[in-house]
Amino acid sequence: MLKPLTDPVDVGLLSASESTVSGDYPLAGFERLKDSLAKSEGTARVEFRFHDADDGESRFPALDGSVEARPWLVCQRCLNPFEWRLESAFTVAFVAAEEQSAQVPGEYDAVLAPHGRASLHELVEDELLLALPLVPMHERIEECRASPGPSSPEDAPDEAAHEGTTRPFAQLRDLLDR
């Protein structure tokens, strides 16, 4: 039986042996992600294929990765939780110092790996955070339980309904015009 990998991993060793690593990470285990979730249940399924990134002049440990998850988000249209399908592929090259980032081939994102070690857990969490939508919403309006806004001028609220509204700064405009 193989011993599971513990973070941080030796990315140079994994890249030299062209290792493939896959597994599941519980979404509840990602501290930075928790605030973006409606529920912290479920898992992120990941696969990493380690190799070397070589641009002819420099060589870096690298990986091609993918993450799939079904996180529960809050729809910003109806404010109800919904399960969202997340699939993301990424390619990274590991650098020992920030100064090396400019040397990484263009198709790779540079990831800092001091002393040749990197946390796969943090890499997965970063990728999940990047893949989340800025404004989560149900894909189709039919799935959303929000009440639709007025679709025509006849459906708009009546102006007479606003007659009793107090506007405390209504006279401010007159003062500013002077």
Q: Which residue has the tokens 């404004």?
A: 135
pTM strictly above 0.85? no
Instruction: Provide the 10 A C-beta neighbour count for residue 127.
Output: 21
Amino acid letter at 68? E
Top-confidence residue, 5 or 137: 137
Top-confidence residue, 172 or 25: 25
Question: Is a pLDDT exceeding 60 seen at residue 161?
Answer: no
Contacts of residue 82, defined as CB under 8 A and 6 or more positions apart, other chains included, come to 38, 72, 73, 74, 75, 136, 138, 143
Question: Is a pLDDT exceeding 80 seen at residue 46?
Answer: yes
Strand order of the β-sheet with 20-26 is 20-26, 43-54, 59-69, 86-95, 109-112
| pLDDT score, position 2 | 39
| pLDDT score, position 164 | 61
| Spatial distance between the Cα atoms of 149 and 158, rounded to a whole number of angstroms | 14
Is residue 2 a contact partner of residue 38, using CB atoms and an 8 Å limit? no
Q: Which residue has the tokens 């209504």?
A: 170
| Mean pLDDT value across residues 25-50 | 95
Can you give 83-120 as a three-state secondary structure string?
Answer: ECCEEEEEEEEEECCHHHHHHCCCCCEEEECHHHEECH
| Mean pLDDT value across residues 149-159 | 51
